[in-house]
Structure 1
Amino acid sequence: MEIFRLHYPNEQDLSSIELSAAAIGFFDGLHRGHLDVINTMKGIAEEKGLKKTVITFDPHPSVVLDPTRQRTTYLTPIDVKIKKLEALDIDYLFIINFSSAFAGLDKDFFIQEYIINTQVKEVISGFDYTYGKKGSGTVEDLKQYTEFNTTVVDKLDFDGEKVSTTKIREYLETKALAKANQALGRAYDIEGIVVQGEKRGRTIGFPTANIEPNYRYFMPANGSYAVTMTIDNDDNVYKGVASVGVKPTFHDNARLTTEVYLFDFNKDIYGENVTIHWHHFVRDEEKFDGIEPLIEAIDSDAKIARELLSDI
């Protein structure tokens, strides 16, 4: 996959790249609705002998447009999004820097600079895609251009609503992990590195891996979860329990941490890059009155998680 990082003003000469079909959108999460758009693009590209292109943006437009609701955490941070798109066999990826200057562009100028000048002959978007200053351009405007064809993909419904990144974030925040995973079409995943922790777990019979996320992820709500974990350069899938929270039994004001207790696992993996796959919510984070009730709760979590993960 060839990656082009574009800014405004765009100083790259893209006239020599091959003609393509392009799926356009922010695509945070690469959920089932996004995949409908991307797979539609791939089908059109293959039918018409075009390269497969994705046009996306970084950072999220809200950082520029709505400081009261700006989104600085992601389901798929840009580096993760790149890896997932590469796995989808995309040929070209255009990442447009969403800056204040870019946000102020006239809608027709945007089309000329970032669609027509990038050799796009087929545009595929979701039904609610907007572009240009204040979102003045709509899919109906896209259809008026003769330099390319436009295909609009209808919304995908789930749980009585449109599948959306906003809704998935809400599911994760309210512990509705099963719904989040259904909307995503996969278990939510977070990449991180194993770092030194307080090592308290090993003293109570549950040694944990302390995971520092590699990127600015949107984290699931505090609590315990049934998870699987993969380790770079290791083909095994390990099952376990993840705890997200501030360890209230031991701290009054601790920072958020993510710890994973893997079943039947005794390797030293400090410094390893890992991916946590979040399958089931188990229970809320609690403050226990001492070590013994905490040990009982973790033991119960492990038993529940083993059962929940038995088919994986």
Structure 2
Amino acid sequence: MKIIRLHYPLDNRQDELKDSAAAIGFFDGLHRGHQNVINKMIEIAEEKGLKKAVMTFDPHPSVVLSPKKQRTTYLTPLDIKLEMLDGMGVDYCFIINFSSAFAALESEYFVSEYLINNKVREVIAGFDFSYGRYGKGNIDTLKANDAFNTTAVAKLTSGSEKISTTKLRDDLAAHRLEEVNDALGRPFEVQGVVVQGEKRGRTIGFPTANVEPEYRYHLPAKGVYAVTLKIDNEEEIYKGVCNVGVKPTFHDNMTRVSIEVHLFDFNRSIYGENVTVYWHNFIRKEQKFSGIDELTEQIGKDKEKAAELLENH
């Protein structure tokens, strides 16, 4: 997949590009609604003999447009998103730097310089996509342009609610992990590296892998979860129980959240290994215990519950 980074003012014309169909959006999470947009792009591109393209933005537009609600953490950080798009067979990924200068551009300029001049012949976007200064451009204004065809993809719902990145983030915060995974069409995942921790787990019979996220992930809310873990360059998937939180039994004022995974029937040292943690089920909220004995008893119950939940994984 060819990655094309675009900064305003545009100074790197891509004359070697071929005509393409482009799916446009931020696509954080690449949930089932996003997949519908991209799959529609692939269908149109293959039908018309065009290159398959995705046009996305970095950072999230809220960093410029909504300082009180800006998103600086992601369900799928940019590098992960690019890996996934490459795996879907995308030929070109345009990454537009979403700056104050870019946000101030008139919608007609965006269409002329970012779409037409990059040889986009088919535009595919969600029904509510907007662009240009004050968001004045929308699907209808795109359809009015005869330099390319525009396809609007209808919203995808789960129950009565639209599947959206905002809903996914809210669900993670409320421990609704099963709803998150249903909307994604896969388990929520975080990539990271195993680093040295406080090593308390091994002293109470539950050694853990302390996973430091590699990117700025939007993490699940503090609590205990049934998870699986994959070590890079290994085929086996390991089952375990994970605590996301601040370890209140041992710390009164800790604010830094850690990810600690206890793997079943596993006794290797894996410090420095790159791993992926897959979240499957929520078990309970993080809590403070009166002491080691009470904590150890609860971890044993959590382990049994996780093993039960993961039996068919």
- What range is the shorter-chain TM-score in? over 0.9
The 2-side partners of 1:159 and 1:284 are apart by: 26
CA contact (8 A) 1:51 1:92 kept: yes
One-letter amino acid matched to 1:154: A
The 2-side partners of 1:24 and 1:147 are apart by: 16
One-letter amino acid matched to 1:121: R
The 2-side partners of 1:68 and 1:285 are apart by: 28
User: What secondary structure is seen at the aligned counterpart in 2 of 1:68?
Assistant: helix
* 1:222 aligns to 2:222 (yes or no): yes
Q: Which residue of 2 aligns with 1:105?
A: 105
One-letter amino acid matched to 1:282: I
CA contact (8 A) 1:14 1:119 kept: no
The 2-side partners of 1:297 and 1:182 are apart by: 28
Deviation at 1:271, TM superposition (A): 0.5
Q: Which residue of 2 aligns with 1:298?
A: 299
Q: Which residue of 2 aligns with 1:136?
A: 136
* 1:285 aligns to 2:286 (yes or no): yes
The size of the alignment, in residue pairs, is 312
Please give the TM-score of this superposition, normalised by the length of structure 2.
0.99
The 2-side partners of 1:10 and 1:253 are apart by: 48
Q: Which residue of 2 aligns with 1:12?
A: 12
The 2-side partners of 1:89 and 1:16 are apart by: 19
CA deviations over 1:103-149 (Å, ceiling 9, x no partner): 00000000111100111100000000000001110100000111100
The 2-side partners of 1:205 and 1:60 are apart by: 43
One-letter amino acid matched to 1:14: Q
Q: 1:122-161 alignment to 2 at 5 Å?
A: 122-161=122-161
Please give the TM-score of this superposition, normalised by the length of structure 1.
0.99
Q: Which residue of 2 aligns with 1:265?
A: 266
Q: Which residue of 2 aligns with 1:23?
A: 23
* 1:275 aligns to 2:276 (yes or no): yes
- Unaligned 5+ runs, structure 1: none
Deviant stretches of 4+, over 4 Å:
none
Q: Which residue of 1 aligns with 2:169?
A: 169
Deviation at 1:251, TM superposition (A): 0.3
The 2-side partners of 1:17 and 1:35 are apart by: 24
The 1-side partners of 2:212 and 2:139 are apart by: 40
Q: Which residue of 2 aligns with 1:49?
A: 49
CA deviations over 1:166-203 (Å, ceiling 9, x no partner): 00000000000000111111110000100000000000
Deviation at 1:15, TM superposition (A): 2.4
The 1-side partners of 2:253 and 2:270 are apart by: 28
Q: Which residue of 2 aligns with 1:75?
A: 75
User: What secondary structure is seen at the aligned counterpart in 2 of 1:310?
Assistant: coil
One-letter amino acid matched to 1:229: L
